[in-house]
Structure 1
Amino acid sequence: MVATVLTLKYRVVRHQLMREWWRALLLVGGAVWSLSLIPAAFWMQRMLSLEVADVRSQILVGAAAVCILGWIVVPLLVTGLEDTLDPGRFAIFGVSARSIMPGLTIAAALTVPALFFIAVFMILAGSWRYDGSGVVALAVVGSLLTVALMALGARVAVAWSTRALRSRRTRAIALVTVVASLGAVAPAGFIVLRAGIESAASYELPVVLEWLGRTPVGAGMVAPEALASGDAWGAAWRVAMMVAAVWILHRAWQDNVAYTLVHPLHRGGGAQRRSDAVLAGAARRTLWGPLGSDSATRAVRARALLYWATDPRYLVGSVGVVALPLVFFGLVVPMLDLDPRWAFGAPVILAASIGWGRHNDVAYDSSALWMDVVAGRIGRQVMAARTQAVLVWALPAVGLAALAILAWSRLWEVAPGLIGACVGALGATLGISAVTSVVLPYRAPGPGENPFGAEVGSVGASLVAQLISGAAMFAILPLVTAPFVLALAVDARWGWVALVTGVVLGVAACVAGVRVAGSWYDRRSGRLLAGVS
């Protein structure tokens, strides 16, 4: 079965590379980039070998912790997980999880990221070469177990998150948990780092690294130090703990694979409905005035609002945009010892990330796209309705973030400028994203599919779309934020200028972007259907 699974994987990859050149470009680029970092790993090995054992182990623990965190967070919030061998695709063959798990495990270890981290940590294990061959051998074992923890942790995190988002109750619990966690991490990071990064590195960081060395996160890196210092028992229990952690994660992954094999894709909202929520929402008259009075706009807006309330893909996107401003406020500002006025960038970043994140909004509605296309030339109504659905939750979220920063700083005199900058950033980025979602669409996970999945072939197209939309965003944001910067740095009266320019330019950019996107939507309807399917 192992040979069959691996053959299937590489046959699928070969066909993908032959069909789409983006896949080959990504694969070759990733391999070249990984190889270019190998000399840096050897240099780091040499530098570590010159350090004393306890300092060396602390540095390795920190590196392992950052890598493990990246393996878990990046698939959830950024790239998704490469799912060439998605277990759900084996459901029709009637195979058991026990029979395919060896093949899936080996296939997961043979991906480009896994091979790269294996090579890097094996090289770093050589930094213990002056402490004897037994210590080096133990360092190699600890490195392999640490990389296994990374790969398995990513698989389990994605699998559990996908299952948690399949019902309405668990979606609500998961969303509240994530938001609460992010809300707790930001103040904690600010408190720890407010005295400066030097103080944190001298006092808090060594304590954190010492405790991480007693957990599966860093035990594999500390075990060689324990053996080198004559503490054989300390090395033994750390390795045993690592083996147990890897075994537990592998069993958890196997449990999720078994669950996936017997549960079809869940496309509902998690509860049985007695009425059509889309039609009911379309029948309700709202306060959008002439922008939302026609039936097509109301129908699409009601459908999009239902997505934001129930669809795991949209909920994941909303959590992702909240993470960046929290990290900026809780980690970047205190870590770099920036002036507290930099914290006002958090609500502006939130507004910009919400708008920019909609650069593939049309593709997320791929299952209903054909219905909008055959309904006639309603491109402007479709794009206006989708933008309105975002504004329903984006405006309150940005407003609460701005109010929180103003209350924290007590600089209420710059409130007009902050409002103008936030409105301008949100409107400008929504206008840009409306255009790029039509001009540069790429495939996204469909309804009911893994919201953390990403087809390898779509990554190249997504990078192009994100780079172009990001460049447009950075080009236009200074126009709406410059007066607010002057209000903070020069005179608070500039805030009224920022209010006027931000609202005028933001609304104008949003309306213009929606109108242009609507026109292109009608012209490129055939290409849209082909591009997102």
Structure 2
Amino acid sequence: MVARLFRLRLALLGSAFRGSFGRGLGTTVWFLLLAAGAVGLALAPTLVTDDPAERAVIDTLVGSAVLLAVFLVPFFENRRNLEPKQFASFPAGPGAIGFALLVTSIITWPFFLLVIWLVSLSVFRPEWGEPSWVAPVILGLTALFALASTRVMSGLSKLLVGPFYAGALRTVGLLLVVAFLPVAVFAGATAFGADGGSAMADASGVLALTPFGAPFAALAAAAGGDLDAVLPGLAILGGAVLFLIAIWIPIAWVSNQRIDRPIQRGIARNGLGWFERFSSRPSQVIAARQLTYWARDPRYRVALFAIPIAPIIMLVAFWIAGADLSALALVPLPVILLLLGWSQHNDVAMDSTAIWEHVASGTKGRADRAGRLAPVLMIGIPLALIGSSITVTVLGDWRVLPAIVGMNIAVLLVACGISSVFSVMMPYPATRPGDSPFVQPQWTGSGSGLAQTLSMLLTLVFAAPAVWFAVTAIVDIEFVENIWALLFGIGYGLLILGLGILIGGRIFDRSGPELIGVTQVFD
């Protein structure tokens, strides 16, 4: 089985060069650039500092980041990974298939890049040469850990998620990458700050207790002559490798025995845009449709362009009044997130042509409410995280980051929850699909003014507790209070969002025919 998979792996590697001369040349250049990046990553710490102790801290942090990426990325993106299920028809047991897949994973492009990085580390760190056995053993175990973690996380992803939700999982992974940017900014600002050295040393000390940082901390200890500190690192790394290999065989066995629901023949799976990235469940189909609307419908784009204008006007007014500019840094992002969530308070009227489909098909109201919030949440949550890091940069104190993140996420979620109720409780005329976004239909009687006023007032009232806790933590800077403000803001926001979806869904279920009648009047 191992020999067959080796031949298959070699054929897969060679397929990247077949087809045309241009394709082969592009593959070669792309791999050489990635290899140069791996070598540069290994060389960079030696260019930053000549102090072995500082270089050891940087190696632990960078190495931990690389191994953590190797561990997590296959869970979200594994389309090119072979899986045990593909070899279920072979005359071999699950154990043999799992072992063959694990061993032959060394014939892959990512593993080649990892080996280049590890070899470059050993070349650019001559202090790792004594004692001579430490570096080969630890680096070899590190490569084996990366190999096993890739197989385990990819196998778990395919078992837990399956092909129907793979697109949604990749979308979540992309959002997490965007959301991680504030953490990267925070780490960089802390590292180059006044207390950056101590913060980096503390972080490397914590990472040394994990399989991601243990190998590099053990190599640094061996280079310093402390052989007693090498054994704990070897034990952590070796235990992690054994654990991953031990659970990989059961994963391979379950994957071979499990039968997925067959995909119906004749159903298009490609070229569907956002619908490829979401499953066929009602809420996720509605989410895909809403994302398509936001990408193509000028009515939504005009609303997005108009949202940042309000905080700019507010800042100019406060600046003319003589307000403190550093304190004003807290204003723009919550206002933008408030307006972004509040913009959904009349979404039923904006999407009136699809309401009859939901009512006629018996779609649950909570599925309609949850699906319509997908564009706002996919834009708002990364915006809240990235904007919070910019806010604390302007403030000049990174200790208040948890409180600001909690406040901004709470404002967004509360606004979405209130909008979920008002969009079915008090819809009013909106621009019809295909018309100019600046044309407003006429409507007699109360409508837009009352709905807008009440929805905005309730959003402000329900967002006040989270804002109060956050402002208290920002004024009186304490670690516990900031963490409490973060947890309270997220928890409180999720509570209001969940209640808004449930209440709005209940109203939708009860008044579906009336919503059809009202929205058809608007059309």
Q: Larger RCO: Structure 1 or Structure 2 (Cα < 8 Å, ≥ 6 residues apart)?
A: 1
Structure (1 or 2) with the larger CA radius of gyration: 2
TM class by shorter-chain length?
0.3 to 0.5
TM-score (norm 2): 0.47
